[in-house]
Amino acid sequence: DVQLQESGPGLVKPSQSLSLTCSVTGYSIISGYYWNWIRQFPGDKLEWMGFIRYDGSNNYNPSLKTRISITRDTSKNQFFLRLNSVTTEDTATYYCAV
């Protein structure tokens, strides 16, 4: 089974950058699939943020396109989220998903 585990700081101050790691076990991220970041706001609204494909290409939510970057480290089988210039409106629980 594919398993994904998020890690990173619990709190980021406004105007700073949020950086999170998703560690994948049970499947190589270069073998297939789209590797996504999503977030859940207070009140349970879900938002898809973007993905990195198995081939390294990206697609981002247009509302975040100027602030978001999703990259990967294939040697560690990890992919990463960076969200710049965070504000209180970015308060959410962040998840990686496939």
Is 66's pLDDT higher than 90? yes
pLDDT of residue 81: 98
pTM of the model: 0.95
Q: Which residues contact 64 (CB under 8 A, 6 or more apart)?
A: 49, 50, 83
Q: Strand 34-40 to strand 18-25: parallel, antiparallel, or no bridges (unpaired)?
A: unpaired
pLDDT digit string, tens, across residues 27-37: 999 999 999 99
pLDDT band at 18 (very low <50, low <70, confident <90, very high): very high
CATH T-level assignment (fold) for domain 3-97: Immunoglobulin-like (2.60.40)
Residues 6+ apart with CB under 8 A from 91: 41, 42
Look at 13-17, 31-35, 75-79 and tell me which has the smallest mean pLDDT.
13-17
Tokens 């990890």 found at? 78
